[in-house]
Chains A and B, each alone.
Chain A
């Protein structure tokens, strides 16, 4: 089976409907035992639909669909929901499922409204066994940071009504640590790959610089929290860090300087 952006809306629409209704259902006050299963089923159906589309799209392109912005947005919707679902099950925060569904929907909507052209070309520099792990691990990191950002927003909102909300704070830390672990792995794989492809593992290319900036921002959060501080300032550093991350991801094309990393 092979599918392209032309067919994407017919898969995306049911998938995001599943995710949004799962999120809403999970957030309902009164929950019967059965509706918990419905939430699970809807989320998993949505994830499966996306996974099938990606597989068929991959087949159609004869190359990994990880090159263009739209292709990375596709994976992000999938991993955002996966990470959201896992954290919802593990820590039982129903609002998280709804918020990740909304984020995944937003990313999907961009792809539906701004479909990209079909392109099977993959330049030689990208033809490496490191291509897939490098990009996917980054996207997983971004998904965890995305969830951490949602949790940080919730934290700010709840703390306005008073209380420290230590448990939610600790949960946020967890997501940041996990996200940072993946970010560092993605960066290191990138460094190994750059050595293979370009001759040097680090050359302050604009995209590398932005990755450094993102990493440094999250490091500041990690080290500040290590002191046991829990003021609102710290939560804001997390929001700023995510803004820098978005800049890193979508902004490189808008910034001055030419990057070896521009592929689409």
Chain B
């Protein structure tokens, strides 16, 4: 039976001319190619798609037009054209086209804005910023139309066995629509606040000052660190050929649970570790003052010669006056300590939020992965002065405003339900279309 269908299809496609209904893959591929071509032409003529045009309420109007097209396609769902637009060949073609663009983005560096001096053909065709190039935007929109008609059709003749299909496709549609059409309304700015100061100005990408209904005072910046690594360096090698603190086998992590280890031919034992220490005489003693540094008393034994070296190594802090020290192993090699990596950093802040005449004030601790929300804004711990580390005198906070977050999240929840159903049911429940 399935054989006869595929045979029938084959004879059908042999006798059917291109663009003679019913359309299938060749027409979908040509159509998509045409859309992409139009996109490239538009890109050459008008440049990148200007998402700024889609500010509220323009994006609502654009969405309404899109919904109208989808409604129209659904009204005429039995027409051969509508069945083709909302059919599998189109879905596969669009997915493949978007995949190709994504592959290109993956393989070449993408920019977030194009400097004016970039005028080669690659830039003019939009390849340096694919996600806002016309071909990509048109494909995205076409996908929304195709996906929309497919979904609405099934939604209208709802059946319980379509739940998984509906969760996946409706969820994806809502997510794509709010991510794409909401892009222009999203605001992301970074605010740098100095210790003890209150800041209300922020600057956008174009260095224009923006006024926000939010002011932030930085009361305290704190950081906890991991114990650093030990490594062996060549004192005669040029500085830039030294290990950089990342994945090389030559590092020994100072770990309170594991005090013995090995680097190359040297067995290492940590006799004592102080995270904040200052040097007094030839020794280090614990002291939390700003000039402190991590320091360890180490015994290193050469496994080949049996030679033993003992002494203090310290990383050196980030302010003048803190002491760096290495442990010379022979006339060329030294045991040294890397800078510690941050474990947790946080800003104690006071937020002032102004809504018309109302002013609310509250205290909060801002930490990575623990944003706070203020009205329609979310505030994130973004950065600090890395040259000073835990002594940083300022903290950078990112403020994000996204009125389309809720619909995007609804889409994601629907998709999560769809994904659970897929994982649970496997391919058993699907209906193979005829």
Interface residues of A (CB under 8 A from B): 2, 4, 60, 62, 68, 115-125, 127-128, 170, 173-178, 180-185, 188, 191-192, 195-202, 204, 206, 209-210, 212-213, 216-217, 219-220, 223-230, 255-257, 264
Do residues B99 and A257 form an inter-chain contact, with CB atoms below 8 A?
Answer: no
Distance from A53 Cβ to chain B, minimum over Cβ atoms (Å): 16
Name B6's closest neighbour in chain A (CB-CB).
Answer: A229
**Contact for B422 among A124, A178, A225, A226, CB less than 8 A:** A178
Do residues A199 and B95 form an inter-chain contact, with CB atoms below 8 A?
Answer: no
Do residues B427 and A170 form an inter-chain contact, with CB atoms below 8 A?
Answer: yes
Do residues B258 and A209 form an inter-chain contact, with CB atoms below 8 A?
Answer: no
Name B228's closest neighbour in chain A (CB-CB).
Answer: A121
Residues 201 to 256 of chain B near chain A (Cβ within 8 Å):
226-227, 229, 247-249, 251-253, 255
* In the assembled complex, B415 has its CB within 8 A of some CB on chain A: yes
Main secondary structure of the interface of A (DSSP, over half): helix
Main secondary structure of the interface of B (DSSP, over half): mixed
Distance from A190 Cβ to chain B, minimum over Cβ atoms (Å): 11
Docked Cα-Cα span, A8 to B422, in Å, equals: 36
Distance from B427 Cβ to chain A, minimum over Cβ atoms (Å): 4
Do residues A127 and B253 form an inter-chain contact, with CB atoms below 8 A?
Answer: no
Collect the chain A residues with CB atoms within 8 Å of residue B408's CB: 201
Docked Cα-Cα span, A2 to B258, in Å, equals: 10
Q: How many residues of B contact A (CB 8 A)?
A: 71
Collect the chain A residues with CB atoms within 8 Å of residue B368's CB: 124-125, 127, 197
Collect the chain B residues with CB atoms within 8 Å of residue A201's CB: 179, 408, 412
Binds A, one of B66-74, B107-115, B270-278: B107-115
Collect the chain A residues with CB atoms within 8 Å of residue B131's CB: 204
The 10 closest A-B pairs by CB, nearest first: A181-B423, A181-B422, A184-B419, A173-B427, A124-B368, A174-B426, A216-B99, A199-B400, A177-B427, A121-B226
Distance from B341 Cβ to chain A, minimum over Cβ atoms (Å): 5
* In the assembled complex, B13 has its CB within 8 A of some CB on chain A: no
List 13 A-B pairs, Cβ < 8 Å. Answer: A117-B249, A117-B253, A124-B343, A127-B368, A200-B402, A204-B131, A216-B95, A220-B96, A224-B88, A228-B2, A228-B433, A228-B434, A257-B109
Name A256's closest neighbour in chain B (CB-CB).
Answer: B109
* In the assembled complex, B92 has its CB within 8 A of some CB on chain A: yes
Do residues A209 and B105 form an inter-chain contact, with CB atoms below 8 A?
Answer: yes
Docked Cα-Cα span, A209 to B423, in Å, equals: 23
Do residues A219 and B95 form an inter-chain contact, with CB atoms below 8 A?
Answer: yes
Do residues B188 and A200 form an inter-chain contact, with CB atoms below 8 A?
Answer: yes
* In the assembled complex, B200 has its CB within 8 A of some CB on chain A: no
Do residues A199 and B398 form an inter-chain contact, with CB atoms below 8 A?
Answer: yes
Do residues A188 and B95 form an inter-chain contact, with CB atoms below 8 A?
Answer: no
Collect the chain A residues with CB atoms within 8 Å of residue B92's CB: 220, 223-224
Given contacts A2-B257, A199-B398, 6 further A-B contacts (CB under 8 A): A118-B258, A120-B226, A185-B419, A201-B408, A228-B432, A230-B2
Docked Cα-Cα span, A118 to B256, in Å, equals: 12
Distance from A73 Cβ to chain B, minimum over Cβ atoms (Å): 14
**Contact for A127 among B247, B344, B430, CB less than 8 A:** B344
Do residues A121 and B343 form an inter-chain contact, with CB atoms below 8 A?
Answer: yes
Docked Cα-Cα span, A209 to B2, in Å, equals: 37
Docked Cα-Cα span, A227 to B400, in Å, equals: 43
Docked Cα-Cα span, A192 to B409, in Å, equals: 8
Distance from A157 Cβ to chain B, minimum over Cβ atoms (Å): 21
Docked Cα-Cα span, A60 to B418, in Å, equals: 38
Given A121-B341, A121-B343, A185-B420: A209 and B369 within 8 A (CB)?
A: no
Given A181-B420, A206-B106: A227 and B247 within 8 A (CB)?
A: no
Collect the chain B residues with CB atoms within 8 Å of residue A225's CB: 427
Docked Cα-Cα span, A63 to B222, in Å, equals: 21
Docked Cα-Cα span, A155 to B247, in Å, equals: 40
Q: Mark B324-346, 1 if CB is under 8 A from A, else 0.
A: 00000000000000000111110
Docked Cα-Cα span, A223 to B168, in Å, equals: 13
Collect the chain B residues with CB atoms within 8 Å of residue A202's CB: 179
Collect the chain B residues with CB atoms within 8 Å of residue A125's CB: 368-369
Do residues A220 and B99 form an inter-chain contact, with CB atoms below 8 A?
Answer: yes
Docked Cα-Cα span, A216 to B92, in Å, equals: 9
Docked Cα-Cα span, A103 to B418, in Å, equals: 30
**Contact for B188 among A174, A199, A228, A257, CB less than 8 A:** A199
**Contact for B421 among A123, A124, A181, A224, CB less than 8 A:** A181
Docked Cα-Cα span, A230 to B432, in Å, equals: 12
* In the assembled complex, B380 has its CB within 8 A of some CB on chain A: yes
Collect the chain A residues with CB atoms within 8 Å of residue B380's CB: 197-199
Collect the chain A residues with CB atoms within 8 Å of residue B91's CB: 223
**Contact for B102 among A121, A124, A212, A255, CB less than 8 A:** A212
Collect the chain A residues with CB atoms within 8 Å of residue B369's CB: 124-125, 127-128, 196-197
Docked Cα-Cα span, A235 to B109, in Å, equals: 32
Do residues A60 and B258 form an inter-chain contact, with CB atoms below 8 A?
Answer: yes
* In the assembled complex, B416 has its CB within 8 A of some CB on chain A: yes
Collect the chain B residues with CB atoms within 8 Å of residue A68's CB: 247
Collect the chain B residues with CB atoms within 8 Å of residue A127's CB: 344, 368-369
From B108, B252, B343, residue with most partner A Cβ within 10 Å: B343
Docked Cα-Cα span, A122 to B318, in Å, equals: 22
Distance from A261 Cβ to chain B, minimum over Cβ atoms (Å): 13
From A116, A123, A184, A192, residue with most partner B Cβ within 10 Å: A184
Distance from B132 Cβ to chain A, minimum over Cβ atoms (Å): 10
Docked Cα-Cα span, A149 to B325, in Å, equals: 54
Given A117-B249, A209-B102: A174 and B428 within 8 A (CB)?
A: yes
Residues 332 to 385 of chain B near chain A (Cβ within 8 Å):
341-345, 367-371, 378, 380
Given A118-B255, A212-B102, A256-B108: A264 and B421 within 8 A (CB)?
A: no
